[in-house]
Amino acid sequence: MSAAAPGTPPLTDERLLKTSPLRKLMGRPELGSVVGAIAVFLFFAIFADSFLRASSLATVLYASSTIGIMAVPVALLMIGGEFDLSAGVMVTTSALVSSMFSYQMTANVWVGVGVSLLFTLAIGVFNGVMLTRTDPPSFIITLGTFLMLTGMNLGFTKLISGTVSTKSISDMEGFSSAKDVFASTLTVGGVDFKITILWWLALIVVATWILLRTRVGNWIYAVGGGEDAARAVGVPVNKTKIGLYMGVAFGAWISGQHLLFSFEVVQSGEGVGNELIYIIAAVIGGCLITGGYGSAVGAAIGALIFGMTSKGIVFAEWNPDWFKFFLGAMLLLATLLNAWVRKRAEATK
């Protein structure tokens, strides 16, 4: 950067240039996924006759919300440049803890829910602290957590309950009010919507507000963009990362409580493999695997695409054997589209 020659007017700073709304839109990370979501929606609207029924759409939204509640905090973590492979089983852990604590202590169900929140957040803190205090990348650390949790879920459940699933807590105090919060059904115009959809929307709003309107949001982007640079300008890198892992844990807690209160009993062996689905949703939604780029809305739309595809195949009466194939193809297409959109956006700046 050479000093401007005397006599020429100083150039305006590029960051202060006004960009047109269309350009702004082109620069949004979730643009690719919005296009994808519309395409998937139209596709199933044409090829699956019962897809457009209100009750079918409610089922699709429910399926999307169960993925989306996790995809949103996972996206934030990925923007911060890290992974969490323990996110899938953490959901099961969270459900197991509240169920077994309430049952064994014969406590009000809400006590178990509270203990579960603390316990799940502690797992998040563990992930974050291990990552920031030690050398290995998050991929390895959370892989370790993932395996440990999988074993603990099964081992402890068997040790405490004597079987591989928990005992039912549906007759205990506080169950019905907790069910209202985590797993109730809202009937709007004769169609049943699950409350998880509201949780999902709330998480999208909160996460978007954090990312775009707060200092913490800037920290997340900075940490993901370049850790050393962020540290050099005074961003609390470690705190930010631990916070992001706690965010994932919070999402796992909501999902876990939903599992527990909608089914009353938790199977200890579940949740394995879902962590990848959350990551896929975030990536389809425009998050970069290297961090520093992405959005919560994008991840939510990624989850919506996932929900539409998984249920759309059923509505279209196709053979479900091909579901994973479609998912993989969609992931590739979405990432290519996202990359192309990003290139165009950067070129027109």
Residues within the interface to another protein (CB under 8 A): 50, 53, 55-56, 59, 62-63, 66, 154, 163-165, 168, 259, 262-265, 267-271, 274, 310-311, 313-315, 317, 319-321, 324
Minimum distance between the CB of residue 188 and another protein, rounded to whole angstroms? 16
Choice between 52 and 339, CB closer to another protein = 52
Smallest distance, another protein to C-beta of residue 155, A: 9
Return the number of the residue (61 or 222) whose C-beta is nearest another protein: 61
Residues in the chain: 349
Smallest distance from another protein to CB 161, Å = 12
Query: Whole-number minimum distance, CB 331 to another protein, in Å?
Result: 17
Three-state secondary-structure class, residue 173: coil
Q: How far is the CB of 187 from another protein (least distance, A)?
A: 12
Nearer to another protein, 59 or 142 (CB): 59
Q: How is residue 164 annotated by DSSP?
A: S
Minimum CB distance to another protein smaller for 115 or for 154: 154
**What DSSP assignment string belongs to 54-117?**
HHHHHHHHHHHHHHHHHHHHHHHHHHTT---TTHHHHHHHHHHHHHHHHHHHT--HHHHHHHHH
Q: Which amino acid would we find at residue 317?
A: E
* DSSP string for 228-269: HHHHHTT--HHHHHHHHHHHHHHHHHHHHHHHHHHHSS-BTT
Q: Which is nearer to another protein, 50 or 104 (CB)?
A: 50
Q: Of 267, 261, 252, which Cα lies nearest the Cα of 109?
A: 261
